[in-house]
Structure 1
Amino acid sequence: MRRKVRNYILIVISMVTGTVSFAQTEIENPFGLVYRDAITENLPGKVNIQPVTYTLNGIEIAANVYTPANYDPDKKFPAIVVAHPNGGVKEQVAGLYAQLLAEQGYISITADAAYQGASGGTPRNVDIPHNRIEDIHGMADFIIQYEGVDSERIGLLGICGGGGYSLKAAQSDKRFRAVATLSMFNSGVVRRNGFRNSQVNTIQERLKKASDARAQEAAGGEVIYAADNAIPTEEAELAKIPYDLYREGYIYYGNTHKHPNSTFRYTMSSLLYLMTFDASTNMNLINQPLLMMAGSKADTYYMTDEAYRKVTNAKDKELFLIESATHIQTYYVPEYVSQAMEKLNVFFGKYINSEA
């Protein structure tokens, strides 16, 4: 399979002026991957990618398994489950980190959440915390049975919303021997209170809308969505967005790393579950080693900080700030990804990449 390259949309954001400029440089990838230096073909002696499907609670899940360059199914390798951000898919940042981990000798897996991406389930874009947590358990179920995986050396990396759900999954699932998060996002708290508590005055109003949406669905009516896919692309529009998370998120998901399966939409009725969820509760149940990473300039850092302070029983815990990075920049900017990977290599190397 030969490399196919076409122009990919690059965006350059000036840290000094705040201006945004676009240049055409698209990459067409046979596996649908949209991140830089993604695998384009499987070659002997290289990191390979294997698209797979499996059934979880009656729903077909679409996943990618990355195997290291020295992969031999007759040997035993440590494995890492990678959970993607809210609205994201396996071909974006989760795939990037899964590939980089495979380059370090791990078998890694990332899957589209049930009801999302290329995975099955209707109505589309249901976003219920229980489902997302179950997705993580399901990835562990699958990868533990994959040829060459050492079931005693399984790690977990959750990114953004996947980070919050990873914290919950690790509280009960002790198959995960070490747990890491990157730019953790506490989905329930934000859906309830708004980003940085900007919507606390409308909680009951939004719960009423969610309740009405549930009633309409139950009666066979049209599914109502809490967000649409209208992504601002003009510089003037982007400049009006007060938070880096959303401004840079629109650029990442809508332009530089756009994927047709990635969407901001979620069903309005999902709020019945999201608004009563908090990823940072019961943190005392995490007894595995825990690494939490966030950009030093991330406007989402408060979520990582709150969860981290509640960890009391972890075998070891560390908070690592990626110098000068915002939330979204940890997804793709090479120098920030390198910082995160250096820390992950040390962390997972200590706790799961040793048979001792």
Structure 2
Amino acid sequence: MPAIAFVVFDGFNAMALAAQPVFSSANAKVGDAYYETLTLSEHGAPVRPIGGPTVMTEPFGDRTFDTVIFAGGEPDEMHASPGLLAFVRHSAATARRVASICTGAFVLGEAGLLDGRRVTTHWRYARSLGERYPKVRVEEDRIFVIDGPVWTSAGMTAGIDLALAMVEADLGMDLARAVAQALVVSYRRAGGQSQHSALLEMDAKSDRIQSALSYAKKNLAQPLSVEHLAEVARLSPRQFSRAFRAETGQSPAKAIERLRLEAARLMLERSRHSVEQIAQQTGFSDSRRMREAFTRAFGQPPQAIRRIGRALAA
């Protein structure tokens, strides 16, 4: 039975443990106790997280585990004790996988486990991670990164994507998909997917503009003219354009292009559709226009983005 150990400490973010139900749900789908899940701390005492109730833990001890996942907290307030660092190194030598959620990467970095590896963490702390540990290759815009036996994820909810990817590696895609459905989460985002969402970054303040954005995201293959979006928002085209720019800081045309780019990039990373098919499904009309948009936005054509995404997820 693979034992999955989550390692926590005072001041860790409680959201890191949101990944635990992925493994218990996998057990339910298998119909047997395939995984054993434990929560560990250095001394086995109750641990106080940020954003949640006190957590009961077991001490490190001498036991070995299949997978060891280190939680994160505020990097400037995290103090990796000699005992914690020794456990990181012991885990690297004995476990099949060692992982971090969010800023748990700083713990792995302090133990020297990330030197020469590709890793990720929350975008807000990515630069700090690279500066603190210059031998680490930080992929600051990834959901998760797998480099050999070391798995690292972005912000806290990305730990769920990481756990689903582990279940998929262990038990197959169909079971991982069933677990995601049971937990009412989107089937795991690809590791190479961006941490940023164009729709979230626009952050429209009024229901009318937000409804137009939501409509656009669901109908990217359509022309989506200003007149049509204004009709959805129940405004005149002139009122809509003015309100849209005031609330999002950009024109409707630019915003729609960003949504299309985000959708097309995701399809490139996760599907086997041709570039031409993706261009049509995301509203670019043809591959030439999509290539031009990708080059403006990312500095690379769609084919290069696809190769990079698949390499990062491999």
Q: Same fold (TM over 0.5)?
A: no
Task: Specify the TM-score bucket, using the shorter chain as the normaliser.
Answer: under 0.3
- Return the structure number with greater helix share: 2
TM-score, length-scaled by structure 1:
0.24
